[in-house]
C-alpha cells in the first residue's frame, strides 16, 4: 500500500501536467506573506479572466520541470502556477494590480508557448 503523501504528490503532478497541456502559457509566482483570503481573492479575479491558479509543492514542481533549469531554480518557498488559457493581457493586468496592493507577491518567471519569459518582460 502506498503512503498517502506519495499518492497526493502523484495526483498533484498528474493534474499539473494536464493543466500545462491545456494552457497557452503559465506564470510561476511566489506568494510569501500573502494571506489565504488574499490568495483566494486573486484566484477569483483570475477566474474572471479565464485563468486559474494552483499552489504547488516545491518537490512536485521541481520534478515536473526537471528538464528546465531556469524554472527549477525559481521554485523556492511558497510557489504557485497561474495557468493562462485565453487572454494573456487581462491576466497580466490582474496580477499587476494585485502586486500593487500586495507587494509580497512576486512573479518569478513565465513560459509562453515554448519560450521562457523573464520577470521584466512580464512587467513590461
What pLDDT score was predicted for residue 1? 60
Task: Please report the pLDDT score of residue 124 as a whole number.
Answer: 67
- CA 12 – CA 57 distance, rounded (Å): 9
What pTM was computed for the model?
0.86
Q: Note down pLDDT in tens along the chain; length 124 residues.
A: 678 888 888 888 899 889 888 887 899 999 988 999 999 999 999 999 889 999 999 988 888 888 888 888 888 999 999 998 877 888 888 988 998 999 889 888 888 877 887 777 777 6
67 Cβ partners below 8 Å, 6+ apart? Answer: none
How much is the pLDDT for 37? Answer: 93
Return the half-sphere exposure (C-beta side, CA atoms, 13 A cut-off) of residue 1: 2
Closest C-alpha among 54, 56, 47, 37 to residue 94: 47
Amino acid at each position: 500500500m502506498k503512503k498517502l503523501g506519495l499518492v497526493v504528490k502523484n495526483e498533484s503532478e498528474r493534474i499539473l501536467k494536464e493543466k500545462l497541456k491545456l494552457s497557452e502559457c503559465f506564470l510561476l509566482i511566489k506568494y510569501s506573506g500573502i494571506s489565504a483570503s488574499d490568495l483566494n481573492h486573486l484566484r477569483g479575479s483570475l477566474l474572471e479572466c479565464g485563468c486559474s491558479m494552483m499552489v504547488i509543492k516545491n518537490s512536485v514542481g521541481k520534478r515536473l520541470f526537471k528538464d528546465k533549469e531556469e524554472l527549477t531554480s525559481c521554485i523556492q518557498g511558497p510557489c504557485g502556477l497561474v495557468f493562462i488559457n485565453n487572454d494573456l493581457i487581462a491576466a497580466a493586468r490582474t496580477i499587476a494590480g494585485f502586486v500593487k496592493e500586495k507587494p509580497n507577491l512576486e512573479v518569478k518567471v513565465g513560459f509562453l508557448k515554448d519560450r521562457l519569459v523573464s520577470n521584466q518582460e512580464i512587467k513590461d
